[in-house]
Structure 1
Amino acid sequence: MSSEQAVYRILDVAANRAAEGLRTVEEFVRFALDDPQLVEQAKAMRHGLAAAVARLPRAKLLSARDTLGDVGTEISLASERSRPGIEAVVVAALARVQQSLRCIEEYGKTVVPEMAAEVERIRYQIYTFGRQVELSMHRRQSLADAKLYVLIDILEEPELWRQRIVELAAAGADLIQIRDKAVSDRLLWERCQMAVEAVRSANVPSCRLIINDRADIAAAVDADGVHVGQDELPVEAVRRIVGDDKLIGLSTHSIEQAREAVRVGADYIGCGPTFPSRTKTFEQFPGVEFLRQVAREIELPAFAIGGIDLERLPEVIASGVGRIAVSGAVWNQADVVGAVRGLRRLLDAVTSSEAES
């Protein structure tokens, strides 16, 4: 085989491998992450690669192809024959794309330099894209087992408030949201900083500290995320402030808003109000029917919110939404820790029952 034939054989194999890897990742961001922005990026890179490779003489690529004569088809590692999970499939596919693009770029320089330059641009794009995909997977994984979300205001006594946060985390709160629009920015920053330190000192790695509305405060104290409503900063703007590694939640009050939350890249949604609340007043209640719609259609982690307590929790669970966000049901109780544990036990019992069935 001549040197030119060898080059085209390498280019043919690498181009096929890169296209297959891109398609593998595209299917994941489309059907597992439901992220239209990442889908658009994957599709653009896949089409860009196809256009670049089209610069190569197809007849030479096909002539050089010799699958039966490829000695590499008989060599494989045990690690290539199985994957521990869907995330490992994606990570392996991303690595395969990056390596293949480098091969196309380097060997392509010897036959069609212009094509190699185009592939180099795509290779740089895939590094950024891969980072976004893996961080998105990480954010989604961090919420996989989250069921109980507790929303709290700021207490006047700082040490008592700090201790309450530690107790909430230890008792089973998966997410704790700091929300208080009645205090100054300076006090809010101080208390949010204290809350971040409290959650981390509780030594409960699964517990996340979320700041309501204030992306700037969340970024300043290195909180785990931000929750915004329909009238606050849009998710895209919040993402630019807090970065790709932070959680962003969005309040939704209709199935249309829930669908839009998926489109704009929210990591989770709050759904409600489900029942009349002791802490907030609403003119309308989407109610349990909204939860049923979300359970049928939306893949994002969804937390039912609004007037939920131990008595109403079974009705929420029956809707298909097994995650709740509460405030008064915990914060207004004499035994805050006991209230959290009671809600957690019921939520865990349902999850355990579903796993057994």
Structure 2
Amino acid sequence: MHPIVRMIDANANRACEAARVLEDLARFVLGAGEVAAGLKSLRHDLRRAIGSALGGAGIDPVMLAAWRDPEGDPGTGLSHEGEVRRAGTPAIASAAAGRLGEALRAIEESLKTIDSGRAGEVEKLRYASYALSRRVELALGTGRASQWRVCVLLTESLCTHHSWEEVARLAIEGGADCVQLREKSMESGELVERARALVGIARPAGVSVIVNDRPDIALLAGADGVHVGQNDLCVRDVRRIAGSGLLVGVSTAHLEQARRAVAEGADYIGCGPMFASATKVKPVLSGPSFVGEVVGDAVCGRVSHLAISGITPENIGELVGAGCRGVAVSGVVCGAEEPAGVCRALRAALEGAERG
């Protein structure tokens, strides 16, 4: 059997295996039926193109099968450390995407010696694979997001009883496991220094730091992530700036926005507004039922969420009843005489519901 034919056969198996891994990630992890269907079609189209090219060249498929020799193939013993372990689903997708593209290119080049027309078909499949792989990789996000219980949005102007630094320390003492820097009007130079200072307070306590709106500031400060609204940078543009270096959260007000954010690769979603708030007035409330929709949704339910707006120890029970697992709060903590006590009460309500 000609070595070129054996190259095509081996890479066809490799490409289909990689496509199947991506297809299953899209199907079972992401719930992305359209992407899964696209990858399934790619596998079948590839087999059809190769079968037509080899059949046209008079290659007997039974003879080809007989020439397969995994026991004697020196390539089966070649591996490196990166192939032995995967850090999570994003790493699985990245490895499969790379393997798929490489195998399709090898098939394309090899087919040029047999059937240039079919080689052109494989070239189109290769470009299609890049688009489908990208959708899977982006949708999986970083895979590092935790389900925070209490995230405190820090704005200095709301800190009426303590300095912003002391509010941060007291919130962390009370059980806040995430703090988000939200200073809309602060100049960039001051903002990056503020973010660095907040990281210095939170990181030793194992508390995550998120920066509002600004992936550049988050990266410079060594923060854990960035949070964007519907009118800010989209998730893909944040990834172009930060890659997997930052968690990305997205504000959403209804299920369609939440699903879109998750499909684009948000690591967590903000859900709201839940209740009326003096901090940020919204004409329409999403309400606690929105949290219930997110938690029960096959797509959105797999990522972390934070309910936001007007949440207090007095009304958090409504959110708990809807299945809420985490909240983002601002004025109720920043403006409190005892920020630690407010955070303890919020966290106790969430954890009490889980234990119950």
TM-score bucket of the superposed structures, by smaller chain: 0.7 to 0.9
Equivalent residue, structure 1, for 2:265: 265
2:165 to 158, 162, 166: 162
1:325 aligns with 2:328: yes
Q: What code does the residue aligned with 2:247 have? A: L
Deviates more, 1:108-117 or 1:324-333: 108-117
Higher mean C-alpha deviation, range 62-71 or range 342-351: 62-71
Of 20, 24, 28 in structure 1, the residue corresponding to residue 25 of structure 2 is 28
How far apart are the structure 1 equivalents of 2:167 and 2:135?
35
The one-letter code matched in structure 2 to 1:272 is: G
Provide the C-alpha distance between the structure 2 equivalents of 1:8 and 1:178, rounded to a whole number of angstroms. 59
Query: What is the TM-score when the length of structure 1 is the normalising length?
Result: 0.72
Q: Is the 8 A contact 1:162 1:195 kept in 2?
A: yes
Kindly report which structure 2 residues correspond to 1:190-209, keeping only aligned pairs within 5 A, or say none: 190-200=193-203, 202-204=204-206, 207-209=207-209
Deviations 1:173-207 (A, max 9, x none): 3321111224333322321222233333x241xx3
- Shift of the 254–335 alpha-carbon distance from structure 1 to 2, 3 Å rule, reads same
CA 122–312 in structure 1, closer or farther in 2 if over 3 Å, else same: same
Taking CA–CA contacts closer than 8 Å with sequence separation of 6 or more, which of the two structures ends up with the larger relative contact order? 2
- Counterpart of 2:144, as a letter, is S
Q: Structure 1 residues 94 and 64 mapped into 2: Cα distance closer, same or farther (>3 Å)?
A: farther
In 1: Cα distance, 2:153 partner to 2:67 partner: 62
Unaligned runs of 5+ in 1: 77-84
Cα deviation for residue 287 of structure 1 reads 1.1
- What is the distance in 1 between the residues matched to 2:341 and 2:60? 69
Q: 1:324 to 1:90 in 2, by over 3 A?
A: closer
1:150 corresponds to 2:152: yes
Instruction: Give secondary structure in 2 for the equivalent of 1:57.
Output: helix
Residue deviations 1:245-284 (CA, integer Å, cap 9, x gap): 3222222222232233234433322111111224222222
SS at the partner of 1:60? coil
* Cα 1:55/1:203, change in 2 over 3 Å: farther
What's the TM-score once normalised by structure 2's chain length? Answer: 0.73
2:61 maps to which residue? 62
User: Following the alignment from structure 1 to structure 2, what is the Cα–Cα distance between the partners of residues 197 and 36?
Assistant: 43
Distance in 1 (alpha carbons) for counterparts of 2:179 and 2:4: 57
- Give the aligned partner of residue 80 of structure 1: none
Partner of 1:245: 245
SS of residue paired to 1:142: coil
Cα pair distance change 1:122/1:225, threshold 3 Å = farther
Q: In the alignment, which of 321, 346, 351 is matched to residue 349 of structure 2?
A: 346
Letter matched to residue 302 of structure 1: H
SS at match of 1:162: helix
For the pair 1:53 / 2:31, whether they are aligned, the reply is no
Residue 172 of structure 1: aligned partner: 175
Give the CA deviation at 1:53.
Answer: 3.5
- Which amino acid is 2:295 matched to? A
Cα distance between partner residues in 1 of 2:247 and 2:209: 10
Q: Deviation string for 1:204-241 (max 9, x for gaps)?
A: 1xx32111123343344343222222233333333333
Q: CA RMSD in A?
A: 4.5
How many angstroms apart in 1 are the aligned matches of 2:329 and 2:347?
12
Answer yes or no: is the 8 Å Cα contact 2:25–2:136 preserved in 1. no
Distance 1:67 1:164 in 2: 72
1:81 equivalent in structure 2: none
- The residue that corresponds to 2:81 in the other structure is none
Kindly indicate whether the alpha-carbon contact (under 8 Å) linking 1:24 and 1:90 is maintained by their aligned counterparts in 2.
no
Deviation of the 1:332 alpha carbon: 2.4
Secondary structure of 2:25's counterpart equals helix
Would you say the 8 A contact 1:168–1:337 is kept in 2? yes
Unaligned segments of structure 2, at least 5 residues? 77-84
Q: Distance in 1 between matches of 2:94 and 2:60?
A: 24
Q: CA deviation at 1:319?
A: 1.0
Q: Which moved more, 1:272-281 or 1:36-45?
A: 36-45
Q: 2:16 aligns to what?
A: 19
Retained in 2: the 8 A contact 1:258–1:294?
A: yes
Partner SS, residue 277 of structure 1: coil
- Would the aligned equivalents of 1:35 and 1:262 in 2 still touch at CA under 8 Å? no
Contact kept, 8 Å, 1:21 with 1:96, in 2: the verdict is yes
The structure-2 alpha-carbon separation of the partners of 1:255 and 1:130, relative to structure 1 and needing over 3 Å to count, comes to closer
Given that residues 22 and 93 in structure 1 are in contact (C-alpha distance below 8 angstroms), is that contact kept between their aligned partners in structure 2?
no
Query: Contact conserved, 1:56 with 1:112, CA < 8 A, in 2?
Result: no
Partner of 1:313: 316
